[in-house]
Every structure is written in C-alpha cells, then in structure tokens.
Amino acid sequence: MFSVFPTARLKPSPFYESAVAEGMTAASIYNNMILPTSYGDPEAEYWRIIEGVSQWDVGVERQVQLKGPDAGKLAQILSPRDLSKCKVGQGKYVPLCNHEGTIINDPIVLKLDEDRYWFSIADSDIWFWARAIGAERGLDVEVSDPEVAPMAIQGPKSEDVVASVVGDWVRELKYFWFKETEIEGIPVAVQRSGWSKQGGFEIYLKDPTKGTQLWNIFKEAGKPWGIGPGAPATAERTESGLVSLGGDTDDQTNPFEVRLGSYVNLDVGDDVVGIQALRKIAEDGPKRHQLGLKLEGSNPAPLGFRWEAIHLNGEKVGDMTNCVWSPRMKQNIGYALISVEVQLGQEVQVKRPDGTVNAELCELPFL
C-alpha cells in the first residue's frame, strides 16, 4: 500500500475531494493529474454505465485554449480533419498528427467563438506543441490552459439526470454539440459526449473552486435514477471499440491503422501539420490495422502494462495492445494492431506472460 500526495506537479482535479469522499480506491495518472479509476466495486461500476447512470471525475481531460484572430487558422493547421464547416457550439473528434503522420493526441475540438477554441485533450502535452507551431508559423494567437475541468455523466439514464438539472433543451443536443450556461450560478459548458458508447454528457466546469458543489448537485439530482461514482471503464470502451491513445497506439501509429482514417481529410491545406505524410501513407496503404481479439479461456486475464506479441504460423505478425474481461461477452477481449496481411476470422496465438493463448480475430466494435 502506498499513498499519492497531490502537488502542483500532480495536480488534483476540482472534483478530487468528491472522488475521495465517494471512496476512490484506485487512480491513474493522465496529463500530470490524478484520474480516479475505481471506487472499490468494478463490477457494479461497469453495470452502472451499461444500465444506469454513472458520475466521473474526468478533470484530467484538459483544455488547450486557442484565442485570437488566428485561432481558427491554428486549429486547422493542427488538425488533419477539415474544420472549415465547424460551427460555434459544435465539437468534433480530431486525430492530431506530427509531421510523420503519427497520431500524437485525439482531442475533441470545441469551437466556442469565431476566435476561440478548446482542444479537449487526451494524455500528451499539446500546449507545447500548439505554442511552438503557432509561433513558428507567425500566427496571432494565444495558447493557454483555461483551468476547465470536465465531469462526465454517462449511461442510458444520463439524459434524464442532466435534463433534470439544466432543462429539457439538452435532450435536443446533437453529438459533440455543447452550450455554455450556468448551474446554480456555476459557469459550465454542457456537451453531449463522453468516453463510452452508452450515451451521456460532459459538464465542463469553468470555475475550479466549484468542483465539490457541482459534483454534489448531480449526485443529489441523480438519486432517483440510482446515480453512483464511476470512471472511464476499460471493459466498456473495449467492447465499444473506442481507441485509447498511448494505450492502443505507439510512436509509429497513424490514424489509418487504428480506424480513425474517416476523421482525416486528405484535401485540407498543404500547411496542415502531417498532411503530406498522411497523403503518402493513404496512397501506399497502411501496413497495420486494428482488429478485435476474442481469447480462449474463461478466467479474467487483463493486459499488464506491456503489449503482447501476436503470432501466426510461428511468426510475429502484430501486438495485442489491450485485453480485458468482458462481463457481457463473458470472455477476454482485446485489440490487435496487426499486419494488414492478417485477416478477419484467422486464428492467432497471443504470447501472454503465463503462456500462449489462442485467439480469434474479429471486426470492431465487439458490441
């Protein structure tokens, strides 16, 4: 047993005290912050997302704010997805790539105003990146951390809970669209989003001193629907086919390899970072693709912290990048990042720490 002490280097989110009060038992690190990952009953937390409504401290999803006359220009230069038709109040899921076409983050981009954007980032430092690219291109834009922290309300009953707090207008909100508003005087943005496929919303808290108050408003309001604490769930996201950047990707992975090719528009301007490399990769055809794996055996055997080699006919053909017990499928499932020459339906062998396990390749998502 060991303790983790929040410091300036390991920043607590505004909801940290609430997470502790709810009985947080496990946490991870993400964007130099503490990400609560369990409250002691993973099984109950999983079913709460699938069947009910779950409340998550995802303050680690930090915002990189671009503000100024060239904010839109920089947003597009960073994004190989066409943002020209993105409206104020709209969000879009965007793979960010480096000059080699390697994916370095996969934020949701929110357009708050004509001259103001947030990149709601996954786990890598995009402030450095955006500032450097903006400065090198001579753009008039300020890149900052606006100290905004999302809280997720996820699951099939989330719409009822969020509507009971902010009003029935949220029922009309389209996916990734958002609205800036106030909840009991607390400034927020409310978006239909979240890292699950069970439906839900994220409440972006704009005043970091109001975390506990905002948490408790939803905790109270959600009682009739049985709300409880939870966290982004590996089992649910794997069943649903969501990509975890840095988990399912390495420092050579491009968007086409991990099913994010549809979020790349090859005809964006030549000044977009990585677009030349992405055009070439698209033309040559990617070398790997991402498939599902159904593993033999009936005991939960999650992945440790390393990828595990996948063999076909005695040769290494790829890696298993994650693996988790699926409570709904009642088997271990995972993702393969594997040679495009290996196809669906083939049986492969995964080299696990305790021995070789047979697995079947299938289409993603699983469910």
Phi and psi, residue 47, nearest 5° = -65, -25
Closest to ligand THG by CB, 98 or 124: 124
Part in contact with ligand THG (CB under 6 A); list of ranges 189-197, 221-229, 302-310, 341-349: 189-197
Taking CB under 6 A as the rule, does residue 121 contact ligand THG?
Answer: yes
Q: 243-282 mask for ligand THG (x: CB under 6 A)? A: x---------------------------------------
Measured from the CB of residue 241, what is the shortest distance to ligand THG in angstroms? Answer: 7
Taking CB under 6 A as the rule, does residue 57 contact ligand THG?
Answer: no
Q: Return the SS3 of 34.
A: strand
Taking CB under 6 A as the rule, does residue 107 contact ligand THG?
Answer: yes
Q: Return the SS3 of 47.
A: helix
Q: Return the SS3 of 111.
A: strand
Closest to ligand THG by CB, 120 or 253: 120
Closest to ligand THG by CB, 14 or 194: 194
Taking CB under 6 A as the rule, does residue 242 contact ligand THG?
Answer: yes
Taking CB under 6 A as the rule, does residue 193 contact ligand THG?
Answer: yes
Question: In this structure, what token pair is assigned to residue 125?
Answer: 């430092």
Distances (CA, A) of 312 to 319, 351, 360: 11, 11, 11
- Round to whole Å and give the CA distance between 295 and 292: 10
Residue 336: CB partners within 8 Å, gap ≥ 6? 290, 291, 292, 293, 310, 318, 319, 320, 321, 342, 348, 359, 361
Residue with tokens 């106030």: 182
Peptide bond into 365 cis (omega under 30): yes
Residue with tokens 């390991």: 10
Measured from the CB of residue 64, what is the shortest distance to ligand THG in angstroms? Answer: 10
Interface with ligand THG (CB under 6 A), residue from 194, 200, 228, 318: 194
- Using CB under 6 A as the criterion, which residues of the chain lie in contact with ligand THG when the complex forms? 61, 93, 106-108, 120-122, 150, 193-195, 202, 242-243
